[in-house]
Amino acid sequence: MDIYPPPDLAIEIANTSLSDDRGEKRLIYEDLKVKEYWIVDVKNVDIIAFTMVNSGSKRITESQVLPELVIDVLKDALQQSRSINQNQVIASLFSQFQQSQS
């Protein structure tokens, strides 16, 4: 940490480690002053996002690091990826992002 600053965003993929990711790892990222921390809950097809504030963290619904990125959009894409082709999911995401830029 003396050479490189902490990342702005850390993402953990939780399959069997959800409680550790929500607890101990989140505390580590708070201590490191990572700006934002997401947990992708594979089993429940969910994304839990936190921003780090005042030596702690709080849940967010929109990314602070990636402005205008609504976490529910990513959750929807994750859920869609379970039933449709990933290329279709990516195309849908690009379409949504382009519309939001207009």
**pTM of the entire structure?**
0.85
Residue 1 lies in a domain: no
Residue 46 lies in a domain: yes
Residue 3 lies in a domain: no
Does 88 score more than 90 pLDDT? no
Residue 71 lies in a domain: yes
**What are the tens digits of pLDDT across the range 20-66?**
999 999 999 999 999 999 999 999 999 999 999 988 999 999 999 99
CB atoms within 10 A of CB 50: 22
The count of structural domains within the chain is 1
Residue span of the structural domain in which 27 resides? 9-101
Residue 90 lies in a domain: yes
Give, in order, the Cα–Cα distances in Å from 37 to each of 15, 17, 64, 82, 85: 16, 15, 10, 23, 27
Q: 42 and 15 in contact (C-beta within 8 Å)? A: yes
Does 102 score more than 70 pLDDT? no
Residue 2 lies in a domain: no
